[in-house]
Amino acid sequence: MFIRSLLIQQFRNIHSAELEFSPGFNVFYGANAQGKSNLLEAIYTLSFLKGFRADKLSELIEFDARKSVLSAVVQNGNAATRLGIELDAHTRRAFVDGMPCSRARDFLGILRSILFVPMDVGFLQAAPATRRTMLDRMIFNLKPAYLFDLDQYQKLSKQKSAVLHSEVPDEALLDVYDAQIQPAAIRIIEARYDYLQCIAGYIKRVFSAIFDDSFECMTVYKCATFRDDIVFGGDTAVSKSDLVNAYLLSQKGARAKEIARQQMALGPHRDDWSIVLNGRQAKYFASQGQQRSMCLAMKMAEIECLRQEADIEPVFLLDDVSSELDPVRHRRLFEYLNALTAQTFLTTTAREHVHIESVGRIFHVENGGIEYEC
């Protein structure tokens, strides 16, 4: 899929823009604080119905403006779909081909995009919740129905926690919640297992292509209800049903403890994951450049995974990609990007950082204005 055109009105510092894109590379260059990341955030918002830096949707509206409008034509094979979003201080309205779309899940998944922003590089050092969200978003990109399981799990867990906090918890009600939570929890555990296993091979390949083929990169699932870490990328002896059984076992007889502590027993809400480089936790041993390459490799692995597993070609949003890699890695990264056929939106402060063989279109970004150059 690719974005043919994009209209932006009063979104962050971009007052108004109407752009046509190349199905290949689209480069946006400009000095700091001109609106490059804001442009990527507009595309991201059309994918996920939320920004990647905003806590509240109202933060996306241009200062002093009352509303913001985004619209894009997304080409997928022979079909073109027009996506639209209107934001005001309190509401978000989504449109598909001009028709209001009241359910988020009918909108999400039409424009699949994968984003790399410099702050992603810290994902290994981040709190487990940040990594979980990152993993969940990757899975959801591949399998939009996953969002349903997550929502279900989170909603029911919240309700169950409220019962656990009551003075005399109603055990019959807790039974009802348990019966409803378990199937969603199992589907989440299975989806995380499948996904981390699926991208392990791709990460390994991309990382060695960009960085160094003497390094072995593996993914690790730290399932909260299983005794050991599960390492993917080599031989994994632990099966999905081992994990499911361990989860079910952990829930059995947990009731008394849950009531005493007023909190839910372990479950997917406490899962984590990580990356191992040459047998060691990358979090503690990988260099800055390795972590950056690993993060990029993960994003590219996500593209490969979508392509191979679901026959989906997402768009790739690369924010300020060029900093921190040495010249050799930088060149290798661009060799890899050149071979990638996904539509790519790339921002940079310096045009000379971009070594694309066939740049589709170049845009200059200045003070919220985006000018097509060539």
9 part of the interface to Mg ion, by CB under 5 A = no
Show the CA angle centred on residue 321, arms to residues 28 and 211, nearest 5°. 145
* Residue 318 DSSP symbol: E
User: Quick check: 12 binds ligand ATP (CB under 6 A)?
Assistant: yes
The interface partner of residue 47, options being ligand ATP, Mg ion, none and the CB cut-off 5 to 8 Å by kind, is none
Shortest Cβ distance from residue 120 to Mg ion (Å)? Answer: 13
With respect to ligand ATP, which residue has the nearer C-beta, 90 or 227? 90
Q: Which is nearer to Mg ion, 236 or 349 (CB)?
A: 349
Q: Which of residues 30-69 bind ligand ATP (CB under 6 A)?
A: 30, 32-38, 59, 61-63
Interaction of residue 81 with ligand ATP, rule CB under 6 A: no
Looking at residue 121, the DSSP 8-state letter turns out to be: G
CA distance 212 to 290: 9
| H or E element in which residue 19 lies | strand 14-20
Decide if 363 contacts 370 (C-beta within 8 A): yes
Q: DSSP string spanning 37-106?
A: HHHHHHHHHHHHSS-SS-SSGGGGBPTT-SEEEEEEEEEETTEEEEEEEEEESS-EEEEETTEE--SHHH
Q: How far is the CB of 348 from ligand ATP (least distance, A)?
A: 8
Nearer to ligand ATP, 61 or 203 (CB): 61
Residue 345: φ, ψ to 5° = -110, 120
Q: How far is the CB of 319 from ligand ATP (least distance, A)?
A: 7
CB of 117 to Mg ion, least distance (A): 8
Shorter beta-carbon distance to ligand ATP: residue 34 or 45: 34
Q: Which does 32 bind (CB under 5 to 8 A by kind): ligand ATP, Mg ion, none?
A: ligand ATP
Instruction: Using alpha carbons only, give the angle 20, 24, 29 rounded to the nearest 5 degrees.
Output: 65
Angle between helices 128-142 and 146-165 (to 10 degrees): 140
Q: Which of 22, 37, 291, 348 binds Mg ion (CB under 5 A)?
A: 37
* Chain contacts with Mg ion (rule: CB under 5 A): 36-37
* Chain contacts with ligand ATP (rule: CB under 6 A): 12-13, 30, 32-38, 59, 61-63, 320, 349
